[in-house]
Amino acid sequence: MARKTPGKTTGALPIYVLNGPNLNLLGTREPEVYGRATLAEIGKAVAERAKTHGFSVTFRHSNHEGELIDWLQEARTMASGVILNAAGLSHTSVSLLDAARALDKPLIEVHLSNPYRREPYRRRSYISEAATGVICGLGATGYLLAIDALAGLLKD
């Protein structure tokens, strides 16, 4: 018998969407780089897209590396898969990489901007080493594409 999870669209575990430092400033921080959509608007659109695939979403933000690590560890048993925009921590955190490697579930890395068109230090992402796939440079649409990709991976 399938385990039922309260509040889930299909009984499947939710997709975790985790957002790192400064993403709470979306819509006002460098809109020419990151777009005008707020994190709340992205969260709403992501939940709507996930629902069309039969998934619910746990959408979270933290400016703290340790909290993101805790959530990745939690996702090992509480999520179907993870979408992670680690923001600046993508380029600096071996600890996040280790937590992502321990996940053993699909992980899609998302970046609003295209790091390959930016400063050289942004062109290396530790998270990419553990990610199933990477979507970058497409703004808020990247999150929706990540939902589509993750849902496809989970249904295969």
Residue 8, pLDDT > 80, answer no
Per residue in 106-148, pLDDT tens? 999 999 998 888 778 778 899 999 999 999 999 999 999 999 9
Catalytic residue (choose from 34, 61, 126, 143): 34
pLDDT at 2 over 70: no
* Domain housing 57: 15-155
Q: H/E/C letters for each residue in 24-52?
A: HHCCCCCHHHHCCCCHHHHHHHHHHHHHH
Q: Is residue 8 domain-resident?
A: no
Per the domain annotation, does 10 fall within a domain?
A: no
pTM: 0.90
State the residue for tokens 């990151």. Answer: 34
Q: Identify the CATH number of the domain in which residue 73 sits.
A: 3.40.50.9100
Specify the pLDDT at position 10.
53
* 34 has catalytic annotation: yes
CB 103 within 8 A of CB 75: yes
> Is-catalytic flag, 64?
no
Number of structural domains found in the chain = 1
Classify residue 9: in a domain, yes or no: no
User: Is residue 122 included in any domain, yes or no?
Assistant: yes
**pLDDT value of position 116:** 83
- pLDDT, tens digit, for every residue of 43-81? 999 999 999 999 999 999 999 999 999 999 999 999 999
The two beta strands, 57-61 and 107-111, are unpaired
16, 61, 111, 143: which is the annotated catalytic residue?
111
In a domain, 31, yes or no: yes
